[in-house]
Amino acid sequence: MRDLFQAAVVILLAAVPAGAQNQKLANAPAFPPYKAPRLAGHPDLNGIWQAFVTANWDLADHEAQAGPHPEIMGAYGAGPAGQSIIIEGAENGQIPYLPSALAKKKENFEKRATADVSSDETWHAAGDPEFKCYMPGVPRATYMPFPFRIVQGSGPYILIAYEFASTTRTIRMDSKEDAPTLSWMGWSRGHWERDTLVVDVTGFREETWFDRAGDYHSDELHVIERYTPASPYHMMYEATIEDPKVFSRPWKIGFPLYRRLERDMQLLEFKCVPFTEELLFGRFRKQQAP
């Protein structure tokens, strides 16, 4: 019986090289090949997942750093050090920006913790969208320090519900329809490649960023995500990022997503709009008599 089981594993290994995908990740530990449980004929990705990387501060290598207002925020506002999650296409460890596009990243970083909504025309000109509680876009939503839930059933739609800003996004399976309009979370179309959920995302508004370091894109952003189950407790995530207006070539990020296992764990609300109202709108309030 045991031999039979081992034989089955070997056959499985040959037939389903899902593990091969994982091993592309630099330094990813080698897990034995894994075949996820099935739901309606596909790998079952249901559950609450979370990344434990510090890429939301910076996708590339970064040292620990003070926050934008250390005189007020102290260590509360500081960012942790972290290693790059860029696994392909980097230039000297950095995102391959076109030379003409690099200045904007630096300016973004310098003004990351600012906001000025006094004019419709320049509403989004400065400041990290995260700072203002705007929807984070893709792939940033995946590696923010908040959990998200995948709801996968038998219909042609998969829901990803992110805790940050109660943002959601629908993945349209096997859809041929192009993005009908631009949106913050983009237009996601998915299909299965063996055990991997591949999601092609286009139709982004240009305002979202990749991280607090000011990394950004244009409305020509194209993201291809790959979600590959690697064990009952984790899956590998990869995203290929293309944007000919901003980058000289495609580049790729990758990291594991971990299943949250706490008993009765659920997404709680992080409706952050009220946390930003004074910042954004306080200057327009009625002035009190001195």
Partner 1 sequence: MTKFACSGFTAVGALAASLGLLAPQVAMAQTAETKKPAAAKTSANPTKPATFRTPWGDPDLQGVWNDATSTPLQRPGGVGSKDVLTDEEAAAFQDSLAYDLTRDRRDGSAAEDVNRAYNEHWMDSRRLKITADHRTSLIVDPPDGRIPPTVKISPERAKARAQRAAANARFNAGLPANYTDFSLPVRCIIRTDSPPYLPTIYNNDFQIYQSPGFVAIAPEMIHSARLIPTDGRPHINRNLHQWLGDSRGHWEGNTLVVETTNFRTDAGVIFMDADPATYKITERFTRVDAKTLNYEFTVEDPHTWTRPWTARIPWSRIDPEEQMYEYACHEDNYDLVHFLSGARAREKAGTIKPQAAAKTTADER
Residues facing 94 on adjacent strands: 91
Closest by CA position to 129, among listed 68, 202, 215: 215
Q: Whole-angstrom Cα distance, residue 283 to residue 268?
A: 31
Query: What x/- string results for residues 122 through 151 when contact with partner 1 is judged by CB under 8 A?
Result: -x-----x---xxx-------------x-x
204 binds partner 1 per the rule CB under 8 A? no
Query: What x/- string results for residues 23 through 42 when contact with partner 1 is judged by CB under 8 A?
Result: ----------------xx--
In the complex, least distance from residue 109 CB atom to partner 1, rounded to whole angstroms: 21
Q: Which of residues 117 and 198 has its CB atom nearest to partner 1 in the complex?
A: 117
Q: Whole-angstrom Cα distance, residue 240 to residue 250?
A: 7
In the complex, least distance from residue 33 CB atom to partner 1, rounded to whole angstroms: 25
Pair 118, 92: CB distance under 8 Å:
no
Biggest alpha carbon–alpha carbon distance for the chain: 86
In the complex, least distance from residue 63 CB atom to partner 1, rounded to whole angstroms: 32
279 binds partner 1 per the rule CB under 8 A? no
Q: Whole-angstrom Cα distance, residue 106 to residue 241?
A: 20
Q: Whole-angstrom Cα distance, residue 54 to residue 95?
A: 16
Q: Among 99, 154, 176, 262, which residue sits at the site for partner 1 (rule: CB under 8 A)? A: 154
63 binds partner 1 per the rule CB under 8 A? no
290 binds partner 1 per the rule CB under 8 A? no
Q: Whole-angstrom Cα distance, residue 210 to residue 104?
A: 13
C-alpha pair distances (Å), 181 with each of 187, 205, 280: 8, 9, 27
Sign of the C-alpha dihedral computed for residues 17, 26, 141 and 53 taken in this order: positive
282 binds partner 1 per the rule CB under 8 A? yes
Q: Which of residues 97 and 184 has its CB atom nearest to partner 1 in the complex?
A: 184
152 binds partner 1 per the rule CB under 8 A? yes
| Interface with partner 1 (CB under 8 A) | 39-40, 46, 117-118, 120, 123, 129, 133-135, 149, 151-155, 157-159, 161, 166-170, 172, 177, 180-181, 183-185, 207, 264, 266-269, 271, 273-274, 276-277, 281-282, 284-286
